[in-house]
Structure 1
Amino acid sequence: MHPDEPHDVSVSGRLNWLRAGVLGANDGIVSTAGLVIGVAGATASAGPILTAGVAGLVAGAVSMALGEYVSVSSQRDTEQALLEKERGELAEFPEQEFEELVALYEAKGLSAATAWQVARELSDKDAFAAHAEVELHLDPNQLTSPWQAAGASAVAFTTGSLLPLAAILLPPPEIRVVIAFIVVVVALAVTGYVSARLGGARPGRAVLRLVVGGAAGMAITYGIGALAGTAFG
């Protein structure tokens, strides 16, 4: 084992955060691209496109942050309740809880003697942490922060949204939709590949789903925008 190789259990947690960030950015790309391309189908003026894009970016980032905050808060409340229940059981029934810990290690494949020894040593060091890890699969010191999750979601969504917004506004009006379409398709392919690799899945299908879905979504919104521009222009 290389001494510099990370073996901390938080590595998987960091990968999950990274994957969530990539997916959040992907949401920003898809939703903002559909919005600004739809508006571009109705008008060539940069003002309405910018207004719609910024409004969509802000609304989406707030929605993502709020949803993540509520979700993680609910999860954290449940985890804290389970931890408090376990703490109370340890204080009230220490011997029974120790026997339960031994049985859990035996169920993992350890011999009775080894399971007893492992449970004894871990209980002497920190019985609560040992029970939380084996029974609840939780680390009391690494519960997810709702504020951190909300902030990360908002940042990821905003980062993804800026790409189609810039791609639709910076090119000349006559080619802005084409350029934005190409940039968004490439970005979706990249995020699909990265999210699949982080999740341990084959990237081909993930990339295809995102590219086809995103392209179809942009085509539909552009068509709706063009029809609305013709009808009400």
Structure 2
Amino acid sequence: MTATPADIERYRRNLRDEVDGIALYRALAAAERDPHLREVFLRLAASEERHRDLWVARLREVGAEVPDFRPSFRVRILGWLARRFGTAAVSPIVARMESSAYTMYDDQPEAVAADLPRDERSHARLFRELARSTRSRPIDVDIARLEGRHRAGTGNALRAAVLGANDGLVSNLSLVMGVAGANPGRDVVLLAGLSGLLAGALSMALGEWISVRSSAEAFARQLEIERDELTLMPDEELEELVLIYRAKGLDEEEARATANRIMANRQKALDTLAREELGMSEDEAGNAWVAAITSFLTFSAGAIIPVLPWLIVGGVVGVAASAIASAVGLFGVGAAITLYTGRGILFSGARMLGFGLAASAITFGIGRLIGVSTGI
């Protein structure tokens, strides 16, 4: 077998990464007190050892020297942190590392032939789950979420609506007050306020449309990958589910029974595997147009408040009326945020009121300085 210098360098780079992976998983296993999780980490280490052996064999086949790599400084630090603070403390970091390695083997024919890309995807899924799971959460709640019985879409939509209205109110209040500070006349302030409302709402809507659409397209692509793997490699997908449930604390028998129950229903299996991949199911991908329109309307609802008084009055009265109307709106938004924070209504409302009025006062002052210096 022949190999180019670039191939040999790639083999060595892969070998170094796998040595790090083995050391990391062994360190996590040594630090883990839960026997189920310890077994999961040891299985992952064994998987990485298979990967390591592949690259060692490739280097020997082409007559290249096999380096004696040692674990990197980063891996040694993560191992120390795991021993000192527990594996849960480093799981989010490892999850990001696994996500960055998600496609590292997709374009390497030797790795594809040995099914390494599927292993990397499995590792990434597992650590995403470990990173977002809490040890105090009952195991049956975690499994119910994995099986798609818990939905949080309504709460997230309400939260987005409140924050969208807050963005519109604070940003347009600052704009209106900044222009009003220069005292260019009611028509100019009104034009600026309406322009700011329209520009901000369109920008928010477009950004939301792109975000949701991109997420849906990524989900659709991943769904196709999962569907193919479920058809071509059902046994491997079953073992992946078993591994995930073992990581959650189930023993081997319970984990396998749960995985078998899910795999018995192809659609449920597909939904569960996709949820592990992207953290959502097919009905949670969202509608881009609904998201865009909702974003446009909620931003506009907040942004119109400081503009409304200028439809009727101007000058000092307009500034005062706009400030009062916005103050009421700011307090209301702050009070609504307590739905998520649990803080007192007076505290949250007053805090939002203070920040919003402070921002508007600053822009009003800047506008006044500009107006004086330019003679407006």
Cα displacement (A) at 1:201: 5.0
1:118 to 258, 263, 273: 258
The one-character-per-residue Cα deviations of 1:11-38 (angstroms, maximum 9, x if unpaired) are x211111111111111111111112222
Q: Is the alpha carbon distance of 1:93 and 1:18 closer, same or farther for their aligned partners in structure 2, counting shifts above 3 Å?
A: same
Aligned letter for 1:118?
T
C-alpha contact (below 8 Å) 1:25/1:159 kept by paired residues: yes
Give the Cα separation in 1 of the matches to 2:315 and 2:337. 33
Structure with bigger RCO (C-alpha 8 Å, 6+ apart): 1
What's the counterpart of residue 199 of structure 2?
59
Q: Is the alpha carbon distance of 1:135 and 1:122 closer, same or farther for their aligned partners in structure 2, counting shifts above 3 Å?
A: same
Give the Cα separation in 1 of the matches to 2:305 and 2:256. 57
Aligned letter for 1:210?
M
What's the counterpart of residue 43 of structure 1?
183
The one-character-per-residue Cα deviations of 1:81-120 (angstroms, maximum 9, x if unpaired) are 3222222211111011112112212222223222222222
Q: What's the TM-score, normalizing by structure 1?
A: 0.85
Give the Cα separation in 2 of the matches to 1:106 and 1:79. 26
Q: Give the superposed CA RMSD.
A: 2.4
Instruction: Establish whether residue 202 from structure 1 lines up as the match of residue 343 from structure 2.
Output: yes
Give the Cα separation in 2 of the matches to 1:124 and 1:153. 40
Show structure 1 runs of 5+ residues with no match.
Answer: 1-6
Residues 105-144 of structure 1 mapped to structure 2, 5 A cutoff:
105-125=245-265, 126=267, 127-144=269-286
Give the Cα separation in 2 of the matches to 1:173 and 1:152. 33
Cα displacement (A) at 1:79: 2.5
Show structure 2 runs of 5+ residues with no match.
Answer: 1-147
* Count of residues paired in the alignment: 225
What's the counterpart of residue 177 of structure 1?
319
Give the Cα separation in 1 of the matches to 2:361 and 2:322. 12
Instruction: Establish whether residue 75 from structure 1 lines up as the match of residue 215 from structure 2.
Output: yes
What's the counterpart of residue 371 of structure 2?
229
SS of 1:141 mapped into structure 2: helix
Give the Cα separation in 2 of the matches to 1:57 and 1:102. 52
What's the counterpart of residue 9 of structure 1?
150
The one-character-per-residue Cα deviations of 1:39-91 (angstroms, maximum 9, x if unpaired) are 22223732112111111111111111112222223333332332222222111
Report sequence identity in percent.
38
C-alpha contact (below 8 Å) 1:37/1:168 kept by paired residues: no
Give the Cα separation in 1 of the matches to 2:149 and 2:172. 37
C-alpha contact (below 8 Å) 1:35/1:221 kept by paired residues: yes
Instruction: Establish whether residue 213 from structure 1 lines up as the match of residue 375 from structure 2.
Output: no
C-alpha contact (below 8 Å) 1:29/1:161 kept by paired residues: yes
C-alpha contact (below 8 Å) 2:172/2:306 kept by paired residues: yes
Cα displacement (A) at 1:169: 3.6
Higher alpha-carbon deviation: 217-226 or 52-61: 217-226
C-alpha contact (below 8 Å) 2:186/2:313 kept by paired residues: no
Q: Is the alpha carbon distance of 1:85 and 1:209 closer, same or farther for their aligned partners in structure 2, counting shifts above 3 Å?
A: farther
Cα displacement (A) at 1:172: 6.1
What's the counterpart of residue 5 of structure 2?
none
